A and B are shown apart, each in its own frame.
Chain A
């Protein structure tokens, strides 16, 4: 059983299109994240949700809109795709308390290529 699963694994699309990436976790975690990994391998946090509530939004363009229908799912919708959006997007989840951190569990990533 995959703990954090995201689909699709690969996404090739043209500039200007709108696309979505889906993520689901079966670990019972209450916090989920989206990270972006660019070609230089930098891992940058984009969003964090705790129990379906947005708690971190890291100056990401508003073309990116996360949606969490329940605490096991966090989807990412991207409007008007640009060349610079090409990257690997990782979903992750963790069990967090109000002041307690625990490890992030990552999905296998979605490689987005915008042409």
Chain B
């Protein structure tokens, strides 16, 4: 069935180090992969997205890679800072419809000072 799996569920890294969060999806028709950051008590907010015609996208300290063959996509955060602490969600569009986006289970990222 439709599924997005996300690992790890929790991640703790030293400030200044890199963090990597990985997701896999089941629907080969998926063509849009956004990542959201949710701070405590706040709404999820888009931080970066990638479409299936691109293998990698970068925005300052954040990068996303996509491997369509393996149905994997990953979020990379470099030079982590305390304000990067949050829950991160990957997501994928499902099927040929442009109106269904399902989310992974989330990764709680903690940055140690």
Binding site for B on A (CB under 8 A): 31, 40-45, 48, 50, 55-56, 90, 96-101, 103-109
A96 pairs with B34, CB closer than 8 A = no
How many A-B contacts are there with CB distance less than 8 Å? 57
What band does the interface of chain B fall in when counting residues whose beta carbon is under 8 Å from A? 20 to 34
A41 pairs with B87, CB closer than 8 A = yes
A43 pairs with B98, CB closer than 8 A = no
Residue B97, interface by CB 8 Å: yes
Give the contact stretch, choosing among B17-25, B44-52, B55-63, B69-77: B44-52
Cβ contacts under 8 Å, B51 to chain A: 101
Q: Which of A42, A44, A101, A106 contacts B45 (CB 8 A)?
A: A106
B98 pairs with A104, CB closer than 8 A = no
CB within 8 Å for A56 and B100 given contacts A42-B106, A106-B44, A107-B43: yes
Cβ contacts under 8 Å, A106 to chain B: 43-45
CB within 8 Å for A101 and B101 given contacts A43-B89, A90-B43, A108-B42: yes
Q: Distance (Å) between the CB of B74 and the closest chain A CB?
A: 19
In the complex, besides A105-B46, A108-B42, 4 extra interface pairs with C-beta distance below 8 angstroms are A45-B101, A56-B99, A99-B98, A106-B43
Residue in A45, A101, A105, A107 with the greatest tally of chain B CB atoms within 10 Å: A101
B43 pairs with A48, CB closer than 8 A = no
B96 pairs with A99, CB closer than 8 A = yes
A55 pairs with B101, CB closer than 8 A = no
Q: Which of A42, A48, A101, A108 contacts B32 (CB 8 A)?
A: A101
